[in-house]
Amino acid sequence: MPTPPFRADHVGSLLRPQPVIDARKKFYEQKSIPVEELRAAEDAAIPEIIKMQEDVGLKAVTDGEARRSFWHYDFMGMLTGLDLDERDPEQGAQFAGVKLRPIFPTITSELDFPDDHPMLEHFKFVKDHTNVVPKISIPGPSASHFRVAQDDIHVQAYKDDPQNMFDALARTYKKAVDKFYEAGCRYLQMDDIFFAYLCDPKHRAEKQEQGQDPDWLIDRYAWMMNEAIKDRPRDMFIGMHMCRGNFRSTHAAEGAYDQVADAIFNKTDVDIYFMEYDSDRAGGLEPLSILPKGTKRVMPGFITTKTGELEDMDGLKRKFEEASKYADLDQLGIAPQCGFASTEEGNAITLDDQKRKLELVVKTAEAVWGGV
């Protein structure tokens, strides 16, 4: 079996098949079917999701996050000590022109990764249904800090000293890494998008208003990530995705990577970086010059998941010519800029659009590097 990193890859989430959408509505909204029927619908759909990825030529596949509502909250709510609290719809996180559903992570007790975290079984299902590399994407440790308001931290030690919370998150994620490895996972991706958020003047100002230094947070977030992964077995590969929000094809942040490049590339032992680069919101390619020489790989997201229009192959080649001025071409690959469905609602594209985008990822890798 091939091993990561690959030249062609994707972030993880995929549009939900209609049978899964229907079953989730019946279970969660209408409460008209038992959980076993929902699970049966997911179990039937996910092998087809995997097959689609294999058919387009990808060497790493996921379950498309078909069992989740959100890319991050589902995982977080399954941690010990973290609950998801639903409130006034007007309080939902603001994206460009639309608000996210009003879910608020709340720290209720000491944080830990439970031995029976459901996503361990989610991963095993993928592993049992593919002949290529099974991958799972989970939110990085920063999500459980960035998305928790100070008033929603009910552990006094965490509230009095943020480093206590960072220590707890690092331990929690180190245990998660160990447990996923025990489950057979050799390719774990952590979506740590809040590095990119902390490059946005608006989000930086919000953190400053809360009494938090954005640059200090960048350093602490990198420290947490590194603490979690630094002792993993050497045959386990770690990916990290960064973007500026993705909800129904909208975004929540903007700003170049300059302020975080050193932290992400030089202060974390991450192997593969998925970096959003599909619009001017992401800034220039200059931060790639900070990538150290060696085996680390960056997957510039020149292919967008927010619209169905296919990028031009010649244009993609030109972008890689530009990127190669800042990083060795041998340390680059190609992936879409984000997932196709960071939430169950999905982006404003079709299943056919999604497949064509993934085919373009593979074709681009073949054109630039001669293979995936």
Confidence (pLDDT) at 281? 67
Distance CA 150, CA 166 (A): 14
Distance CA 119, CA 67 (A): 9
Q: How much is the mean pLDDT over the chain?
A: 92
Q: How confident is the model at residue 97 (pLDDT cuts 50, 70, 90)?
A: very low
Query: Given pLDDT bands bounded at 50, 70 and 90, which one contains residue 102?
Result: confident
* CA pair distance 234, 177, nearest whole angstrom: 12
pLDDT at 214 over 50: yes
- Tell me the per-residue pLDDT of 283-301, one tens digit each, with 9 for 90 and over: 789 999 999 999 999 999 9
Of the candidates 176, 148, 166, the residue with the CA atom closest to the CA atom of residue 79: 176
Q: Read off the tokens for 86.
A: 């639903």
- With bands split at pLDDT 50, 70 and 90, how would you rate the model's confidence at 279? low
Residue pair 169/144 in contact (Cβ under 8 Å)? The answer is yes
Mean pLDDT of 261-283: 89
Report pLDDT for 98. 46
- Is the pLDDT at 251 greater than 60, yes or no? no
Q: Which domains does the chain have, with CATH numbers?
A: 18-369 (3.20.20.210)
Q: Are 169 and 146 in contact (CB under 8 A)?
A: no
> Which pTM was predicted?
0.92
Mean pLDDT over 83-99 rounds to 60
